Amino acid sequence: MSMTAERSVFYISDGTAITAEVLGHAVMSQFPVMTNSFTLPFVENVQRAQAVKAQINAIYQQSGLRPLVFFSIVLPEVRDVILQSDGFCQDIVQALVAPLQQELGMAPAPVAHRTHGLTASNLGKYDARIAAIDYTLAHDDGISLRGLDEAQVILLGVSRCGKTPTSLYLAMQFGVRAANYPFIADDMDNLKLPPALKPLQHKLFGLTIDPERLAAIRQERAENTRYASMRQCRLEVGEVEALFRSHQIPYLNSTNYSVEEIATKILDIMGLNRRMY
């Protein structure tokens, strides 16, 4: 038995377990307990479920503490194996289905719902998502200005302010065709909006970043260069922010936000349709 009495937490699903993990983690963060977590995806059949049950029970035997189990499994015979374990089991979807049943006045008709699944009915949408990723890669970092009018959003900013990860996340998570265009040091003497972007003004979105954070990021890649100097970072950020303001380009400081947050804010501000995959 461990001295710190860490509580074991399982995130189990017949799919990717991404939702069980994210939600379970949000729930656990509300309690001041030390945890040791296991994510077990693709628990799709009785055999695998029995192995998981044995793992849960073994931890209970060793620690004397019931493992906490957040799960989502559609097949009743697989789900039942998990429910028969010694864990404290919570079905993350059913917890919300029960109250809804009353409100809707109808019984649930459980379907094999694969949250992150690929089926004949969503194949076209999936292809559009992959096409968005292709487009975004082809228009990363100003690689190609051709077909820029097909972009749904064009991110502008200095090198290493987060344009590429944000573009890719927009494409990956939301199926948005996101191009990005970098302003480089040579542009800074007389920073102007490139002529190719002027007719696309309504698609432009700026990213900025605190010069201190920018310098730290650049130092990681190119230590002791002008590129990574505080002076240069301050200059570039100042120029680019002035450009955003003078052209009334909406912009966001990425310093304290993750790609998820930046991407979601961009959709919100630009009024872009949010597709779910």
Q: How far is the CB of 27 from a second copy (least distance, A)?
A: 5
Beta carbon nearer to a second copy, 242 or 260: 260
Cα Rg of the chain (Å, integer): 24
Least distance (Å) from a second copy to the CB of residue 169?
6
Report whether 157 belongs to an annotated binding site: yes
- For tokens 């069980």, name the residue: 20
- Is 162 among the annotated ligand-binding positions? yes
Residue 79, annotated ligand binder?
no
Instruction: Confirm or deny that 159 is annotated as ligand binding.
Output: yes
Residue 46, number of CB atoms within 10 A of its CB: 14
Give the residue with the Cβ less far from a second copy, 3 or 106. Answer: 106
Least distance to a second copy from the beta carbon of 28, Å? 8
Provide the 10 A C-beta neighbour count for residue 234: 15
- Nearest-approach distance from CB 247 to a second copy, in angstroms: 25
Would you say 67 or 206 has its CB closer to a second copy? Answer: 67
160 annotated as belonging to a binding site for a ligand: yes
DSSP per-residue codes, 97-156: HHHHHHHHTS--------TT---GGGHHHHHHHHHHHHHHHHTGGGS--TTGGG-SEEEE
Helices (H), the chain: 18-28, 46-63, 76-83, 94-104, 123-138, 163-174, 211-221, 230-246, 259-270
Comparing CB distances to a second copy, the nearer of 23 and 196 is: 23
> Is the Cβ–Cβ distance between 272 and 152 less than 8 Å?
yes
What is the rounded distance in angstroms from the CA atom of residue 177 to the CA atom of residue 142? Answer: 14
262 DSSP β-pair partners: none
Q: Binding residue per annotation — 74?
A: no
**Smallest distance, Å, CB 212 to a second copy?**
13
Torsion of CA 24, 29, 33, 36, to 10 degrees: 50
Is the CB of 70 or the CB of 205 nearer to a second copy?
Answer: 70
Residue numbers in the known binding site for ADP are 157-164
